[in-house]
């Protein structure tokens, strides 16, 4: 699993969101972007993470940060998740894990002694020029927003 680090160029992406629109990294050129990868829509940890971002959107936006979530879920499932919790930001569908792999957010995991491949909960703060400000692998759902805010205050 390649791990991105501060100063790396963020891998480009072009994915479909919960509304069926195509979203690209270049759509955010000139803006800061919080990209987070989550395993599965409408599960406890993923809901906690998404709702913490929703609840912090005003603060994030006031810092010039937009947010997007990416998971292997189909757009229809993303839409149900988005609508159920009134999230207010794009959820992108990466069913083939291509973007997750490019960000190092896809890899070996284990649960109850069984190994499998899946999303490694990760988040990335990307600057206005498309460079990684900070990358967090195996991030706790409740730490996604505070870590992004801290990274900006450390700059």
pLDDT mean across residues, the chain: 94
Task: Write down the CATH superfamily of domain 14-154.
Answer: Glutaredoxin (3.40.30.10)
Residue 48's pLDDT band (cuts 50, 70, 90): very high
46 is catalytic: yes
Whether the pLDDT of residue 155 is over 70: the answer is no
pLDDT digits (tens, 9 = 90+) for 114-130: 888 899 999 999 999 99
Question: Hey, CA dihedral for 49, 54, 55, 56, is it positive or negative?
Answer: positive
- Average pLDDT for residues 42-52, to the nearest whole number? 95
Cα end-to-end span (Å), the chain: 27
Which has the higher per-residue pLDDT, 111 or 88?
88
Whether the pLDDT of residue 67 is over 80: the answer is yes
* Pairing mode of beta strands 91-93, 65-71: parallel
Residue 23's pLDDT band (cuts 50, 70, 90): very high
- Average pLDDT for residues 41-52, to the nearest whole number? 95
Catalytic residue among 10, 46, 53, 135: 46
pLDDT score recorded for residue 37: 97
Residue 112, sorted as left (phi over 0), alpha (psi -120 to 50) or beta, turns out to be left
The residue extents of the domains of the chain are 14-154
Whether the pLDDT of residue 34 is over 60: the answer is yes
| Closest alpha carbon to 135 in 117, 152, 147, 118 | 147
Residue 2's pLDDT band (cuts 50, 70, 90): confident
pLDDT score recorded for residue 1: 53
């Amino acid at each position: 699993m390649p791990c991105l680090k501060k100063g790396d160029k963020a891998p480009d992406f072009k994915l479909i969101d919960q509304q069926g629109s195509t979203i690209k990294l270049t759509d955010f050129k000139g803006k800061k972007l919080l990209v987070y990868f989550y395993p599965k829509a409408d599960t406890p940890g993923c809901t906690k993470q998404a709702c913490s971002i929703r609840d912090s959107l005003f603060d994030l936006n006031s810092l010039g940060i937009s947010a997007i979530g990416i998971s292997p879920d189909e757009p229809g499932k993303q839409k149900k998740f988005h609508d159920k919790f009134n999230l207010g930001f794009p959820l992108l569908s990466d069913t083939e894990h291509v973007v997750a792999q490019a960000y190092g957010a896809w890899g070996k995991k284990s649960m109850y002694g069984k190994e499998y491949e899946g999303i490694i909960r990760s988040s990335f703060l990307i600057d206005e020029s498309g460079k990684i400000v900070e990358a967090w692998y195996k991030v706790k759902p409740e730490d996604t927003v505070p870590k992004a805010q801290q990274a900006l205050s450390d700059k």
